[in-house]
Amino acid sequence: MIGEILPGSTIGVLGGGQLGRMFAMAARRLGYRVHTLAPEHDTPAGQISDVEIVAPYDDLDAVRAFAKGVSVVTFEFENVSAEAASTAAAHTVVRPSGEALAVAQHRLREKTFLAKNGLPVAPFAAIQSEADIPAAIAHVGCPAVLKTATFGYDGKGQVAIKAPADVAPAWETLGRRESVLEAFVDLACEISVVGARAVDGTWAAYPAVENVHRNHILDVSTFPAAVPESLAKLADAAAYTVLDALDYVGVLCVEFFVTRDGRLLVNEIAPRPHNSGHLTIEACVTSQFEQQVRAVCALSLGSVDVVQPASMANLLGDLWEGGEPDWSAALSFPAVKLHLYGKTSPRHGRKMGHLTALASTATEARALVLQARDSLR
Ligand code: AMP
């Protein structure tokens, strides 16, 4: 492929979290060198990298120097500023592009983009000022969810709306920020599709994953999802539409709501490997992280074939409340894999690691991963 960045080259990662860590592990296995830039020292990704630069993302001189030292820059979270992305792009290749970031990091732009590309989304309305509230309620109805347009993830920046009178106080609670009022969806389940697109436009998507959230944070993912074939095909096609419309290069996740009456709605896009794709490390021929390395380095994509059904359970900081979890208990399950992210302070709701179980069916894998996680307490 034109512009291939081959093993031995250096990849730069903006961000220091677990997604960067697992990306760096895949990159180093393939023989790349990895540089990371994040505001803290000894980050999950920094621990695995060859060079860990400590600088705030808005230190554009640091971003410039970082970009000059690598063959390609990628990022492991979507709230990288447009300035940081364009500063890096002035000195090296940046994949995915800043444009994909700009769409995904703003809920209004994201929903407008999805709707414009013919993808079904829950009814929504923008709230820019208090004056927009009555029309938004009239359009969306109740119950609903009020979400800030920017910097919302894992349930942050969201308030449930039960009655029209709740909207104004909720908007105050969210700091009178630009927001989206979205109809509450009567969910049968949630699924996601992780897909990738290469520099030459070829693409590949893993089969859909079924996701269960707890307190708005992903709790358990099971793969392949138990949804009708027709729905899985629609989800796959939607992922392709998004990849293509963004002229995307890299791995991307599309999260969906499946309604009780059998419809598929797009919830949101994550322009990076995703928590629901962690199980591809063990369950698929190519993990989502290796796929990201291949895509951003302008190589051919790897096979997304399923080796074995799997289920993943997140390990949040809460698990440490009674002391260090019993790792040897979980490791006594031969088909369960432990991933810890190297984080030292186990705060409430913080993603510290995950377990992935493999079994001959997805249902068995889910039962096994839950049993293994229970054994940690
Ligand atoms: P989000 O950050 O928008 O992905 O929301 C996190 C989780 O909150 C989702 O995965 C759902 O479980 C739930 N949620 C968000 N928006 C809605 C909605 N409009 N209707 C029902 N559940 C929702």
Separation of 264 CA from ligand 1 center, angstroms? 14
Separation of 44 CA from ligand 1 center, angstroms? 27
Choosing from 108, 267, 274 the residue with most ligand 1 atoms within 8 A of its CB, the one to mutate for a pocket test is: 267
Choosing from 216, 260, 264, 266 the residue with most ligand 1 atoms within 8 A of its CB, the one to mutate for a pocket test is: 216
CA 78/CA 151 separation, integer angstroms? 9
Please tell me the predicted confidence (pLDDT) of residue 6: 98
Separation of 216 CA from ligand 1 center, angstroms? 7
289: left (phi over 0), alpha (psi -120 to 50) or beta: alpha
Separation of 31 CA from ligand 1 center, angstroms? 39
Contact 334, 236 (CB under 8 A): no
Q: What is the 3-state secondary structure (H, E, C) of the chain?
A: CCCCCCECEEEEEECCCHHHHHHHHHHHHCCCEEEEEECCCCCCCHHHCCEEEECCCCCHHHHHHHHHCCCEEEECCCCCCHHHHHHHHCCCEECCCHHHHHHHCCHHHHHHHHHHCCCCCCCEEEECCHHHHHHHHHHHCCCEEEEECCCCCCCCCEEEECCHHHHHHHHHHCCCCCEEEEECCCEEEEEEEEEEECCCCCEEECCCEEEEEECCEEEEEEECCCCCHHHHHHHHHHHHHHHHHCCCCEEEEEEEEEECCCCEEEEEEECCCCHHHCCHHHHECCCHHHHHHHHHCCCCCCCCCECCCEEEEEEEHHHHCCCCCCHHHHHCCCCEEEEECCCCCCCCCCEEEEEEEECCCHHHHHHHHHHHHHCCC
Atom of ligand 1 nearest to the CA of 218: 10
pLDDT tens across 337-370, in order?
999 999 999 999 999 999 999 999 999 999 999 9
Residue whose CA lies nearest to ligand 1 atom number 17: 184
Atom of ligand 1 nearest to the CA of 187: 21
**Does the pLDDT of residue 250 top 90, yes or no?**
yes
Please tell me the predicted confidence (pLDDT) of residue 78: 85
Quick one: pLDDT band at residue 151, thresholds 50, 70, 90? confident
**Does the pLDDT of residue 157 top 90, yes or no?**
no
Burial 126-163, CB ≥16 within 10 A → b, else e: bbeeeebbeebbeebeeebbbbbbeebeeeebbbebee
Quick one: pLDDT band at residue 235, thresholds 50, 70, 90? very high
Atom of ligand 1 nearest to the CA of 255: 4
Atom of ligand 1 nearest to the CA of 122: 19
Please tell me the predicted confidence (pLDDT) of residue 98: 86
Please tell me the predicted confidence (pLDDT) of residue 373: 98
Q: What is the mean pLDDT of the chain?
A: 96
The pTM of this model reads 0.96
pLDDT tens across 196-222, in order?
999 999 999 999 999 999 998 999 999
**Does the pLDDT of residue 156 top 90, yes or no?**
no
Separation of 226 CA from ligand 1 center, angstroms? 20
C-alpha pair distances (Å), 102 with each of 85, 118, 128, 343: 10, 19, 18, 29
Q: What is the dihedral of CA 168, 79, 221, 370, to 10 degrees?
A: -90
Separation of 315 CA from ligand 1 center, angstroms? 20
Atom of ligand 1 nearest to the CA of 153: 2
Q: Kindly state the average pLDDT of the residues 189-195.
A: 98
Q: Kindly state the average pLDDT of the residues 36-43.
A: 97
Residues with CB under 6 A from ligand 1: 122, 145, 152-153, 155, 182, 184-185, 187, 190, 213, 216, 255, 267-268
Separation of 304 CA from ligand 1 center, angstroms? 27
pLDDT tens across 8-20, in order?
999 999 999 999 9
**Does the pLDDT of residue 108 top 80, yes or no?**
yes
Separation of 260 CA from ligand 1 center, angstroms? 15
pLDDT tens across 91-104, in order?
999 999 988 999 99
Which tokens belong to 27?
A: 């990159």
**Does the pLDDT of residue 152 top 90, yes or no?**
no
